[in-house]
Amino acid sequence: MKYNRILLKLSGEALMGQQQYGIDAERLMQYASEIKSVQATGVQVAVVIGGGNIYRGVQAEAFGLDRVQGDYMGMLATVINSMALQSALEKLEVSTRLLSGLTIQRVCEPYIRRRAVRHLEKGRVVIFGAGIGSPYFTTDSAASLRAIEIEADVVLKGTRVDGIYTADPEKDPTATRYPEITFDEVLSKNLNVMDMTAFTLCKENNLPIIVFDMNTPGNLERLLNGEPMGTLVSMGGTGAGRDGRKPLHEPAQSPLLPLVGNQPEQA
Ligand code: UDP
């Protein structure tokens, strides 16, 4: 395995499977068993799941409703999906914790970075619900931010397309897939990988992204076993990218102040 700790981003829309809305049980169980397989190999797995299969903030605006209210509704949609994934994982006897960016005490823990890391170290799959807990963001931004915070080695963005293409492969049959591309090339070619906030967070923190097809069973494990797949977005060149990423907490260079370890820990 190339990675010790991954952040897997799943879109809410993919959870619909063939349905028009909501959660397809078969797709949900497929995702859970894929996660179980990689977790069983010792990789620490954190997951962010979107909410597009239930609600997106922009929909509220389209109906003339308040955007911010809509965004909070979207965040709650991600909690519903996260709870479904948690349940599916538990059905497969995988130990999980759901940490939410919004406080919903009865069903999930609040997001506390140190607690998230501790859960991962104990071999639990950590699901981050409610995005970052603020409107005007997306779950892609939550995936990038949480990945940086927990010092994940990579963001794996599971989509229905098997990587980043020169053009939309569903419209242009001559489009070809990039096996690897740099952050700068993505920007100069105006390719759509993530929203700009999410993408910039990864770029500025040298956090590689791999876009891959999550809907083909077994792909996640094959990817982590080093099979060439999808598109790797990295700084490129020597010393950069997935293996060359500098630890965020290198004392002399870290822009972060050390945290005081005073948060209560939940066993
Ligand atoms: N959202 C938000 N802040 C966040 C994460 C999500 O406001 O930090 C809202 C936003 O309205 C978004 C919705 O939750 O449209 C669902 O998330 P997203 O669209 O990213 O889901 P996906 O497209 O991955 O299914």
DSSP string over 79-109 = HHHHHHHHHHHHHTT--EEEEESS--TTTSE
CA distance 130 to 73: 9
| Count of domains for the chain | 1
Q: Is 131 in the pocket of ligand 1 (CB under 6 A)?
A: yes
**Which has the higher per-residue pLDDT, 172 or 265?**
172
Q: Is 132 in the pocket of ligand 1 (CB under 6 A)?
A: yes
Residue 253 placed within a domain: no
Contact 183, 234 (CB under 8 A): yes
pLDDT digits (tens, 9 = 90+) for 45-89: 999 999 999 999 998 888 899 999 999 999 999 999 999 999 999
Whether the predicted pLDDT of 12 surpasses 80: yes
Query: Which residue minimizes the CA distance to atom 21 of ligand 1?
Result: 50
CA distances from 71 to 9, 11, 75, 132 (A): 19, 16, 6, 11
Residue 57 placed within a domain: yes
CA distance 100 to 159: 23
pLDDT digits (tens, 9 = 90+) for 204-228: 999 999 999 999 999 999 999 999 9
Query: What's the DSSP call for residue 210?
Result: E
Record the pTM: 0.89
In this structure, are strands 164-165 and 177-178 parallel, antiparallel, or unpaired? antiparallel
Residue 63 placed within a domain: yes
Domain that holds residue 204: 5-234
Contact 51, 74 (CB under 8 A): yes
CATH number, domain of 212, equals 3.40.1160.10
Q: Is 82 in the pocket of ligand 1 (CB under 6 A)?
A: no
